[in-house]
Every structure is written in C-alpha cells, then in structure tokens.
Structure 1
Amino acid sequence: MYDRSYVKVDGKLRNVHYDNDIHYTLQMCEWLFKLIGMWPLVNNHNRSKLQQLVTIVLISTCFSSMLFIVLPSLHHIFFVEKNTNMKVKMFGPVSFCVSSAIKYCYLGTKGHFYQRCIQHVRKDWKTVHDPNYRTIMLKYAAISRKLITVCAAFLYSGGMSYHTVMQFLSKGSGEENNTYRPLSYPGYDSFLDSQSSPTYEIVFSIHCITAMIMYSTATAAYSLAAIFVTHICGQIQIQIARLHDLVESKQRNDLGPDPLSVIVHDHAEILRFSKNVEESMREVCFAQIVESTMNMCLLEYYCIVEWRNSDAIAVITYVTLFISFTFNVFIFCYIGEILTEQCRQIGVNSYKIEWYNLPAKNAYDLILLISISQYPPKLTAGKIIELSLDTFSSVSLYFYYCTDIVKTKFYTLVARTSLVYLNLLRTFADW
C-alpha cells in the first residue's frame, strides 16, 4: 500500500491516465455549467480576460432571461388575471422559473465551495496508483454519468414539450380564436403587443431559450451532487478493498507505511470531503425538494383537470413532467441514501475481515473505524430535511400493483403532505 501523505513531489502524475479520467468524470458537468456561464466560477484554472468577459455576458443573459419571464408573469397572476383556475394553472410554471432563478444564484455564490470539492476530486484521480482502484473509480464515474443522462432526458423532454408541443396542439389552444398565438407565459399584453410579428416570435424564442437555461440549471445541480457522491462511494470501496488486504499485508510484514494508518488517513479525508459536499449542496437541495414537492402536487391537479377536459396532449405532457420531477427528487434522495449506506460499510467490513489473524494492537485499532462508521455523513436539504429513501417516500406517489388468483388490485399510497396540498389546491380552485 502507498500512502499519499508520504509521497515526495517529483512533478510526475502517479496516474498516467489522469487527463482522460478527470475529463470523463467532469465532462457532462462541464457542458452544463458552460451552457449557463458558471463553469469558470467552479473551475479555478487560469482564465483569460476574454473568458471572463464571456462569463459575465452569459450570466447576465441567463439571469435576465429568467427575470423576463418571472416579473411579467407574477404581475399578470396577482394584478391582471381574475380567473382562479387560470391563476393556479400559471402558478406551477412560474414557480419553477422562480426556483430556477434562486438555484442559479446559489450556484454562483457557492462557486468557491464547488471549486474546492472539484479540486479534491482532481487530487484523488491524480494520486490513484493501483489499476484496480482506478477501475473502481471509473465504475462509479460511469454511474454518475448515467444518472445525469437519465435526469436530463426526463427534464428536457417534458419541459420542452410543455413550451412547444403542448402550446400548439392541446385542446385548450385549439378552442381559442384562430388568430391568437399561444405563449407559455402570458402577461406581456400590459407592456407590449405580444401577438404581432416579430414581437411574438422574439418572445416565444426567449421563452424556449430560458426553458433550456432553467433545465440546464436544474441538471447542473444534479450533476454536481451525483459526481461528488459517487466519487465518495468509489473512495469508500477502495478503503474496503484495502481492509480486505490488511491481513495479508500484516502477514507478509510489508515494509513502508502502516496499511491501517493509510486507511484511517484516507477515511478521514473522505469524511472531510463529505462534509464539504453537504455544505455546498444543502441550499440547492432544499430549493429542489421544496420546488419538486410543490410542482408534483400541482401536476397531479393539472392532470385531473385536463383528464376531465379530455385533452390527451396536455395529460401526456403533465404526466411526463410529473415523472421527471418524481425522478429528480428520487435522484437527490437516492444519492443521499447511498452516501450514508456506503459510509456505514466501512464498519461492517472492518468486522468481516479476518481481524482475529491480526496482531492484537492492530485488531483493537479497528474499533475506531467501526465506531466512526456508526455516525455516517448525511446529505441534507438546508440542514432541515435528511435526503434518504424515507424522505422520498414522504413526498412522492407510489403505485403498488398486486395480483391474486381472483382479482387484481391497485394500492396507492400518497404522502400526507402531498395529499393535503392537492386537496387545498382543488378547494382553492373551486372558490
């Protein structure tokens, strides 16, 4: 075993595949953050003045485009629109835009925290020396890429369908005057003639571009959480592999640093990294959980209303969005669950190894690892909500399908919070 803390700096990378590995790990995150102009804030590499200027322009454009939707829409909801059903129907998309603007601000203000976490990831890739350990890290990097891909597919497909297909093909749009051209976010008639050309085309294009920015912001937040947590899981698996090799190392009386001291040192590094990840992600996670819970309830209500109106296009769009928000909440809760569970495995595997073949002093030292593993790090939303599968079950909708010889039954479990919100929505809309 090789302890990183005792290596002398010789100017050479221990992992000769470092450049390819770190590019593979951060590639999707880099794409998303570059799209919204945030990558230079989380990447501390030297930047030219031109790159800084482009960053300022992109950030200003992205945030202004979201305000272009939020301000007129809120004015329309509170001061212009009198129909309660229309207010409720508009509240979901506008609230998502408001939440996206909040998350965008947090991603910018927390840039130095993400920068520190990314530097830790880079260091681990740079110092990995065993091919087996590199294989473990690549395995978990591949898992993070798959999670990000699936999350983006749901979010972009449902969201862009709402902004394009649904606006022109839903039954509600067809019942309007043929000269009326729909917009995803009404409210501009008080300020300009949004139906005339080229004003309509410009506003519609800004809505579509802003939608891409909002979904990229949400996916960028997921990508950071997925990359950091799966990286921690990979490091945990490396420590577990070292634990299983511990007995053989002691029996061979290997020279060099004590293998157990290497395990304890790197485990402490993992715990520090986990704390940094939790501190950097807690506000974004909180905004995402609150936003998704509220939008899931609104989408349930929208589906009921459009089902009664027999609007198949709207129902399909809302169902896709509902699945997207449900899956996105699941992603956050799932990675929080695996973070806690994987960190517990250090203690479990400390007992599973042949510790009875170790010298008594070294066997006693394992008690430290077992004790620490009883208090694993946790990913929280604003230090209020612990992200785990129990949390997911309290904000989402489960459908249980049970079959017996006589008949088939569907058992539906709706979280109390979600059900209360949905009933309040229906009551409010009936006023």
Structure 2
Amino acid sequence: MQKSEININRPVDYEEYVNLSIQWSRLLLKHLCLWPYSSPISRLKQYLHRLMNIICYTILSTPFIFCSTFIYFEVDDIYSKLKQSGPLIFSTTAITKYYFMVVHKADISECVEQIKWDWKNTTNDRDREIMIANANFGRKLVMVCIFFMYSGFVFYNVVIPFSVGRITAEDANITFIPLIFPFTSYVADARYSPLNEIVFSLQVLASYLMHSVASAACSLAAVLAVHTCGQMQVLMNCLRHMIDGRSDMNERVDGRIADIVSQHVRVLKYVTIYRFITAFSFIRCYLLTLEFNFFRASLSFLPLRR
C-alpha cells in the first residue's frame, strides 16, 4: 500500500496523486464489481462483471425475501413486526444503494476522469498543496467510515451470535445458532443442522456485502465531496492572482480570466454530476442505513430470533 503523504518537492507522476485520492474507494468498488474502467474491456470481462453483479444482487436479495416472508406470514402482532423490521429495511437500503451505483457507473467514471484530469493539469505548487491536503483529509474520512461500518458488521454478525452460543429449542431436542436475519419456516426449519450452519454462513456473507456497499457509497461520496472542496479552493487561489498573474498562468489578463472561467465551468459540471449521484444513491440511503443501524442495535439486546 502506498503512503498517504507525498513529498511535493520531488518529481512524481500524477497517477500517484490520483491514487492518494481514490485508492480506498477504488478498492471497495472493485470488490463489489462497481469500479468503472477507463479503457474498453473485452466482451468476456463485461459478461463476467454482469454475472458478478447478478450474484451480488442475489446474495443481497436473499435475506430480504426470507425476512419479508417471515414477517408477513409468521408474525402476528405489531410489536413483533416492528422488532423484525430493522434487518429488513437495512437489507432494502443495501439493495437500493447497490442498484443506484450500478445505474450511475457512467457518472462515477466521469467524476473519476475529472479527478485524474485535475491532478494531471495542476502545475502550481500551492494548488498542489491544497489538493494534497484535501485528499489526505478525504482519505482519513474514508478510513473512519470503513472502520465504523465494519466494526458494526463484526459486532452484530460475529460477536453477538458467538457470545450467545448455541441455544436450545423450546419445542425440540436440538441446539442451533441464532440467525442474524429471520428465516421463514415455509422454506425449511433452519434450526436443524447442517441447514442452520449453511443459512447462518450465507447470512453473514450477505451482511458483509451490505456493509461493503454502505462503505463504498460513503467513501465515494466523501472522496467526491472533498475533491470538490479542493477545486473550489484552487479556484479561489487563482482568483487572487488574476490581476498580477503568476508563472503558470496566461500572460494576458483576458487570457487569465478565460482560464479561470473555464476552470469554474469544469468545477460546476463536476459538482452537478456529483450532486446528482449523491442525492439519489448515497446520502439518502446512507442516512436510512444509520437510522436503522441504531434501531437494529437497540433490538440486538432483545431475545434473538430463531
């Protein structure tokens, strides 16, 4: 892994700066087969990516199907329905986020290409310092988001079930691992081995994907927002030198004004795409995820469902 700090006094390829900005987001999105490729790929790779997207959809949808069936057909009172609805809505938001990231892959690609263009065409040391400072802040923000997301995954999906251990069924002489998500008995009785272990493992995998989707959405939103802040600061720095100019700017005042206007238009276009992506796929779903994570955490101290 490359270091997050870069010495601006030495020559360095712009790709290293790009990596500073998008490394963690790229890792998470590639993990989910959502990272857009800058160059055309073969038809076989396209089919493989679509197949992986379908597999991810299937894994994410499985808890939703069984959980909704359980709540609708097997739960009678309102309190129990409310108690079981936390994991259901959490899985729903994960599916929604994954869908929107697949749909907006072209917009994500355009934002990534804009980030690359900005780093490639930044020649002033002060502008580069501003962009590096914002990239480092975004990197730290992404790491914090990833830490809290996966900490929640480990606590709820690993620590709680294994700390409780196998429990004894009230109506049968069997012990079973308490499941993370409700599982309908219309399909099978998931208390019996080896089905119990298989269902539990699949639910852990699905929950891992859900938290990965949330981490990817949060990290991408953070990277795009921080890069926008950096570009606005760079633009303000250019405005300070609009009259007197500097070594990397146009010699004529009207030329400098034209360059600043052109840069402003690029920033506005980037912000428009970024706001469109985050407004419909990341922020709203992420807020819902936080709300129902707290709701789900409060329910985790109640008796675990079978």
TM above 0.5:
yes
- Partner residue, 1:155: 149
d(CA) in 2 for partners of 1:228, 1:302? 34
CA shift for structure 1 position 49: 3.6
Using a 3 Å threshold, how does the CA distance of structure 1 residues 163 and 294 change in structure 2: closer, same or farther? closer
1:110-259 equivalences under 5 Å are 110-170=104-164, 179-249=175-245, 255-256=251-252, 258-259=255-256
2:100 aligned with 1:106, yes or no? yes
Q: Say if 1:160 and 1:211, in contact at 8 Å, map to a contact too.
A: no
C-alpha contact 1:137 1:235 (8 A) present in aligned 2: yes
Deviations 1:118-165 (A, max 9, x none): 121111111111232222212111111111111111111112311122
Provide Cα deviations, 1:94-116, integer angstroms capped at 9, x if missing partner: 11001110111111111111122
> Which segment is superposed worse, 121-130 or 188-197?
188-197
Partners in 2 of 1:206 and 1:51 — Cα distance? 26
Partner of 1:57: 51
Q: Which residue of 1 aligns with 2:26?
A: 30
Give the partner amino acid of 1:269.
R
Q: Which runs of 5 or more residues in structure 1 are unaligned?
A: 1-14, 315-431
Give the corresponding residue for 1:354.
none
Deviates more, 1:129-138 or 1:88-97: 129-138
Q: Report deviation, 1:249.
A: 2.6
Aligned partner (choices 60, 64, 71) of residue 70 of structure 1: 64
Amino acid aligned to 1:26? I
Q: What amino acid does structure 1 have at the position aligned with 2:74? A: V
Q: TM-score, normalised by structure 1?
A: 0.61
* 1:299 to partner: Cα distance: 4.8
Contact 1:96–1:291 (8 Å) recurs in 2: yes
User: What does the per-residue CA deviation read over 1:265-300, in whole Å, with 9 as the maximum and x for residues that have no partner?
Assistant: 21222112111111122111223334434554x358
Output aligned runs, 1:351-430, within 5 Å. none
Partner amino acid, structure 1, of 2:245: S
Report deviation, 1:188. 3.8
- What does residue 332 of structure 1 align with? none
The residue that corresponds to 2:76 in the other structure is 82
In the aligned structure 2, how far is the partner of 1:300 from the partner of 1:37?
A: 29
Q: 1:215 to 1:149 in 2, by over 3 A?
A: same
- Any conservation in 2 of the 1:117–1:277 contact (CA below 8 Å)? yes
Percent identical: 25
Q: Which has the larger radius of gyration?
A: 1
Partner of 2:258: 261
Would the alpha carbon gap of residues 254 and 275 (structure 1) be closer, same or farther in structure 2, given more than 3 Å must change? Answer: closer
Q: Which has the higher contact order (CA 8 A, sep 6+)?
A: 2
Which letter does structure 2 place at the counterpart of 1:279?
A: F
Q: Which amino acid aligns with 2:251?
A: L
| Other structure's SS at 1:164 match | helix
C-alpha displacement at 1:200, in angstroms?
2.1
CA-based RMSD: 2.7
Report the TM-score, using the length of structure 2 for normalisation.
0.84
